[in-house]
Chains A and B, each alone.
Chain A
């Protein structure tokens, strides 16, 4: 009862309410972004975007423009910039590593030349869910609308593109344009999420629900729905648990999401194999 009272009391506080709203909104958009990350096989995107965002912040401080806005723009441009490398199957994965190295080198050089305190620049990158501002909520809300809308609008094209780029190309999908759009969306979402919730939370909000859903779902549609559902449950359960036992929300959310991903990884394994056996025995003979 004590823990419940504590949750009730904490939920009266405006920063906690904002954090809760932020997590609910992010459950709509970010796990779907995670599905794209898994589908395009660009797991290192978080590290790449962290460093590109840092470069954006350094540029912003050098030029006297809002550093966070510069970080988002830099990530969007980087996302669009690496799109042509998606032509080969592992082009993107390698490109993320290259981007990461180049961006951090450029950022450090720029910080050194401009005399800006590197720690100050880094601090802008590490947000906290309890320090969410209304402007950050607006970014999350836009993502929560844009990302699912794109998935509903271009469902068929996305399913083909994430399955096989060449098949999508031959089926008339505007492969290049869609890849650029997805990469820009992923880059901005990851950069935004890092800024909002800290680097640790990004995986809990994006990748882990998508990885769990990838094991359970059998089509893009079902994977997307599962990812959003798991994201929502993880965010709510993790956040309430953190409030109830006065724990830092970031690690608790990651642990809950990780546990779900692990369970999803173990449980359907058996179901899938038995389903295969029964299906193969029921395959109709062509003659």
Chain B
């Protein structure tokens, strides 16, 4: 069966009525992403939003800056002085051995890891106030490493709705082959199905206006075909992508590959 391309039709295209508009879009030409990958997305977006927002989509999401970022787990330094600039729309693969600090770095962006020094800017905005955190959480879509089965049942439909764009997420779930599982509790899904659900949720987040996608080993539980499909979906989204992965095919689809070792970052490709 041929692969279908995802169409992202934002409900609230890269703007929020209750939060400041994401600042600092990409200067033209910053991204080296394959435009053809999301040509369908652009076409559909053009229908749905005004020209200004359309330009925002073309540049693809928000830029991301790490300045001397140090993350600790108690006394252990998991991330040691990371400096990194990711242009808007750029796709970064983050590789490295287990325990090298990749997940911690991603979690620090979202505020899930709290012992952080240095500065992390998304779209030029820091995270000093509660309002800035609220903005950050909307601006960044997240695919967790091992999606929690949860202490309490949550229906897949509720997970998709938590993206802020239930229709877009539901449609993505359908294309990823898990649409019919929407009324099931997440605890009854297999690891791969759960990962597909989170992928569909991330597509919903992007449709709801997120400008950055942080994905933590999003293809780890998927079969070979699923890995390819997930990589296609992730790299076709019109946003900045930082993906932690051990999957070479996924890394090959990204613009840059960075390697983390003992909390430090170096560019591989």
Contact = CB atoms under 8 A, between A and B. Distances in A.
Interface of A: 38-39, 41, 87, 156, 159-160, 162-164, 166-172, 214, 217-220, 223, 276, 279-280, 282-287
A286 B137 contact: no
A160 B177 contact: no
Interface in B211-265: 225-226, 229
B188 A160 contact: no
Given A172-B137, A287-B1, A163 B153 contact: yes
Contact of A156 (B150, B162, B179, B225): B162
A287 B153 CA distance: 28
Nearest to A223: B153
B207 to A, nearest CB: 14
B137 A160 contact: no
A219 B185 contact: yes
Given A218-B153, A286-B229, A164 B134 contact: no
Interface of B: 1, 3, 110-112, 114, 134, 137-138, 140, 142, 144, 148, 150-155, 158-159, 161-164, 176-181, 184-186, 188, 190, 193, 196, 225-226, 229
Central interface residue in A169, A171, A220, A287, by most chain B CB within 10 Å: A171
Given A163-B152, A163-B154, A286 B176 contact: yes
22 contacts: A39-B152, A156-B158, A160-B154, A163-B151, A163-B152, A163-B186, A164-B148, A169-B111, A169-B137, A170-B110, A170-B137, A170-B140, A170-B142, A171-B164, A172-B137, A219-B155, A219-B158, A280-B190, A282-B180, A286-B176, A286-B225, A287-B3
B152 A220 contact: yes
Contacts of B150: 163-164, 167
Contacts of A286: 176-178, 196, 225-226, 229
A159 B159 CA distance: 9
A220 B112 contact: no
B186 A166 contact: no
Which 5 pairs of residues, A with B, have the shortest CB-CB distance? A286-B177, A163-B154, A163-B150, A171-B162, A162-B152
